[in-house]
């Protein structure tokens, strides 16, 4: 199965727009993902290190992300946060990372690492 097909499958699991009340409940990590490319890069690399079961690398990236959380300021206001845009952006960044590194999804591993919702 291609990455694009899997991305379509992932996108169909996103919540529908009728749950608009959830838009105002952003945490700082979500705001930083939306606002700062440097945080997005670390977050996606951390997610993929977890997926690839590279535990040492994941721990280092997690420490780097924690440092960025303490030092970066979110630009977006929580009331302006768009959960759907965040999910789309993360899906795009993960697919880009997988394309660049030649990684194919494995269903069981994906569900084990990220939960199978």
Closest by alpha carbon to 97, among 29, 66, 51?
51
| Separation in Å, CA 23 to CA 15, 59, 78, 89 | 11, 30, 8, 15
pLDDT higher than threshold 70 for residue 11:
no
pLDDT of 60 above 80: yes
**Which is higher by pLDDT, 84 or 2?**
84
Could you tell me the pTM of the whole model? 0.69
Domain edges within the chain? 3-9+26-114
Q: How many other CB atoms sit within 10 Å of the CB of residue 109?
A: 13
Rounded CA-CA distance 104/62 in Å is 23
% of the chain at pLDDT higher than 70: 72
Task: Give residue 57's pLDDT.
Answer: 95
């Amino acid at each position: 199965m291609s990455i694009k097909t899997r991305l379509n499958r992932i996108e169909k699991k996103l919540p529908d727009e009728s749950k608009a009340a959830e838009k105002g409940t952003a945490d700082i990590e979500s705001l930083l993902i939306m606002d700062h490319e440097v945080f997005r890069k670390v977050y996606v690399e951390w997610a993929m290190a977890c997926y690839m079961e590279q535990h040492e690398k994941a721990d280092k990236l997690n420490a780097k992300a924690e440092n960025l959380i303490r030092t970066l300021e979110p630009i977006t206001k929580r009331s302006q946060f768009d959960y759907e845009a965040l999910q789309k952006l993360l899906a795009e960044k993960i697919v880009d990372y997988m394309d660049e590194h030649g990684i194919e999804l494995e269903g069981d591993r994906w569900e084990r690492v990220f939960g199978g919702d």
